[in-house]
């Protein structure tokens, strides 16, 4: 298998193999539209049609992505895909998330640029930003447990490697596209060890790109600033959940879901799709706006090195929107236009094809580079070497406990169970210390965390932890144990509120 088959075919001028997944609902209509336009632009693509989504779930494959589709993607390494429905009630995972995870497409890239003929509150200001969202980690790792029948817990996973990859991607994208600023958006003020790690990696990497202005803003302020003054942003790099929310916000600034394109990039692999879903109520009616998927296919062509064809198609779309002769229903509704005589999906596509070779007059031309060479290079450190020398010490343990006991009784009992090496320093409820009491009126929820640390002058052994857990288990229902460690003498855990 040639891991770069699509990109190497593109380089050698052969037909480029691309996996195309028509998808569910309106998917086949918008995918057909993009394929027709690419063909009209003269790009030789060898489409490999593959299935995923609702029909696959119905056939009993709970991943929604059959092996034949996985094999095709392994071969081509480039996918153009329609939206995939996640049926409710079959117990499945989202086929979209499965695809992203299977092929480790860690960078979700969503441009949001003012479009001619698409009026918004910000028209005329020139909004032109790209949201670069980490696509694998964070709460989307999907590691969730019910700790008790009435307490759910989800683990937020942020790794240095994952952060380095996406932040590197954002800076390289800025450099390649001639962008001047990268804003890192996190909640590092609250989540110091997860969002904080992402921010620290950003600050470490920024000096490698001295020509690019690097700034950090708290994510809630980013949302506020995007609504107030969106043109201050150029590229925003952020963690998965933050990115999910602000990339939709960014789409809203420039006309909404009918226009929002995206690419999911991994190392030597990429999946291009519209941001919107399968819009089932419009399926088969030839009325949906195909712009989002057409612009996603423009991103795909750039990825394949087809920079001229990409520019020609993008220009043709911008011309079509600018001249306003073929206006789809959604836009007609938005602008108070003639919805009854709005352009069909096919009619809009025909007009884009007719406009190939023309250039828009009301928007500045943005020159894009091909993104063929964004694979990791020597010197880009994704390796764990720097941590192997770190000194690690076991300094205590947190034990989660479900109980109906009054908190003082629980705290007194845990204190007695602590043993010779460990001492109980606090009990907390949902992150706030409740024992010894600090006089706050916390609403207790029958689920507590007891924190045990080494007694003065003592070291903690594995045996101390096992012994403690045995004593606690004999008297209480424990649900989870978390080791307290220090790395090079620095505590590798946070304190509770009030600790
Ligand atoms: P949706 O399919 O995005 O549609 C919601 C609404 O957005 C539509 O009813 C329509 O609004 C508008 N819209 C969406 N695409 C449009 C377009 N191309 N042109 C014009 N308007 C458009 O969201 P949903 O109804 O929540 O989700 C339906 C299914 O899609 C679900 O099964 C969901 O899981 C799946 N989904 C898949 C993906 C993906 O594959 N990446 C993404 C999101 C959702 P009006 O009703 O106002 O006309």
Q: Who has greater pLDDT, 351 or 58?
A: 351
CATH (domain of 136): 3.40.718.10
Kindly state whether residues 394 and 363 are assigned to the same domain.
Answer: no
Q: Whose CA is nearest to atom 47 of ligand 1?
A: 330
How far apart are alpha carbons 205 and 190 in whole angstroms?
22
* Residue 261: its H or E element: strand 261-266
How far apart are alpha carbons 99 and 64 in whole angstroms?
9
**Tokens describing residue 266:** 């991994």
Tally the domains of the chain: 2
Picking from 373, 400, 432, the residue at the C-terminal end of a domain is: 373
Kindly state whether residues 347 and 416 are assigned to the same domain.
Answer: no
CA 156 to ligand 1 centroid distance, Å: 27
| pLDDT tens track for 168-220 | 999 999 998 999 999 999 999 999 999 999 999 999 999 999 999 999 999 99
| pLDDT tens track for 38-51 | 999 999 999 999 99
* Residue 473: its H or E element: helix 462-473
In a domain, 292, yes or no: yes
In a domain, 428, yes or no: yes
Query: Ligand 1 pocket: which residues have CB below 6 Å?
Result: 83-86, 96, 257-258, 273, 276-279, 281, 288-289, 292, 330
Kindly state whether residues 424 and 352 are assigned to the same domain.
Answer: no
Whole-model pTM? Answer: 0.93
Kindly state whether residues 332 and 460 are assigned to the same domain.
Answer: no
Q: Are 322 and 289 in contact (CB under 8 A)?
A: no
Kindly state whether residues 369 and 394 are assigned to the same domain.
Answer: no
Query: Which of 27, 92, 118, 257 for a ligand 1 pocket mutation test, highest count of atoms within 8 Å of Cβ?
Result: 257
In a domain, 457, yes or no: yes
- Tell me the mean pLDDT in the region 71-93: 86
Residue 252's domain comprises 3-373
| pLDDT tens track for 146-178 | 999 999 999 999 999 999 999 999 999 999 899
How far apart are alpha carbons 104 and 268 in whole angstroms?
10
Kindly state whether residues 19 and 104 are assigned to the same domain.
Answer: yes
Split at pLDDT 50, 70, 90, the class of 378 is low
Q: Which CB contacts under 8 angstroms, 24+ apart, belong to 430-438? A: 431/496, 431/497, 432/496, 432/497, 432/498, 433/496, 433/497, 433/498, 433/499, 434/407, 435/407, 435/408, 435/410, 435/411, 436/411, 437/408, 438/498
SS3 assignment, position 341: coil
């Amino acid at each position: 298998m040639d891991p770069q088959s699509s990109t190497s075919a593109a380089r050698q001028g052969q037909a480029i193999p691309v996996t195309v997944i028509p998808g569910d609902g309106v998917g086949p209509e918008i995918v057909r539209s993009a394929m027709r336009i690419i063909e009209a632009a003269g790009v030789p693509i060898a489409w490999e049609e593959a299935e995923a989504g609702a029909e696959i779930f119905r056939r009993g494959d709970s991943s929604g992505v059959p092996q034949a589709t996985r094999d095709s993607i392994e071969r081509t390494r480039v996918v153009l895909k329609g939206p995939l429905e996640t049926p409710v009630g079959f117990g499945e995972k989202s086929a979209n998330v499965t695809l992203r995870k299977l092929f480790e497409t860690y960078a979700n890239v969503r441009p949001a640029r003012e479009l001619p003929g698409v009026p918004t509150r910000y028209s005329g200001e020139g909004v032109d930003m790209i949201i670069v969202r980490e696509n694998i980690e964070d709460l989307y790792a999907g590691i969730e447990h019910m700790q008790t029948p009435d307490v759910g817990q989800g683990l937020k996973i942020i790794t240095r490697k994952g952060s380095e990859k996406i932040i590197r991607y954002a800076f390289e994208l800025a450099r390649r596209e001639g962008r001047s600023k990268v804003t890192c958006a996190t909640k590092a003020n609250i989540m110091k060890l997860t969002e904080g790690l992402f921010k620290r990696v950003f600050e470490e990497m920024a000096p490698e790109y001295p020509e690019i202005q690097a700034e950090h803003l708290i994510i809630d302020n980013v949302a506020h600033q995007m609504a107030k003054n969106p043109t201050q942003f150029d590229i925003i790099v952020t963690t998965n959940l933050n990115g999910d929310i602000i990339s939709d916000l960014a789409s809203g600034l420039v006309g909404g879901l009918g226009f929002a394109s995206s690419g999911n990039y991994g190392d030597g692999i990429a999946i291009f799709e519209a941001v919107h879903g399968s819009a089932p109520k419009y399926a088969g009616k030839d009325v949906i706006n195909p712009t989002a998927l057409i612009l996603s296919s423009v991103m795909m062509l750039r990825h394949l090195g087809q920079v001229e064809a990409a520019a020609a198609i993008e220009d043709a779309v911008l011309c079509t929107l600018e001249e306003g002769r073929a206006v789809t229903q959604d836009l007609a509704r938005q602008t108070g236009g003639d919805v009854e005589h709005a352009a069909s999906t096919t009619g809009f596509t025909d007009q884009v094809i007719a406009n190939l070779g023309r250039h828009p007059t009301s928007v500045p031309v943005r020159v894009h580079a091909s993104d063929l060479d964004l694979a990791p290079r020597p010197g880009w450190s994704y390796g764990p070497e720097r941590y192997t020398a770190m000194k690690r010490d076991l300094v205590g343990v947190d034990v989660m406990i479900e109980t109906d006991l009054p908190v003082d009784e629980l705290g007194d009992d845990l204190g007695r169970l602590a043993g010779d090496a460990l001492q109980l320093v606090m009990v907390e409820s949902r992150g706030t210390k409740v024992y010894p009491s600090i006089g706050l009126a916390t609403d207790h929820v029958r689920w507590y965390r007891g924190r045990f640390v080494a007694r003065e002058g003592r070291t903690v052994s594995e045996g101390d932890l096992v012994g403690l857990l045995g004593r606690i288990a004999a008297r209480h229902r424990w649900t989870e144990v978390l080791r307290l460690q220090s790395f090079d003498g620095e505590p590798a855990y946070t304190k509770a509120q009030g600790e």
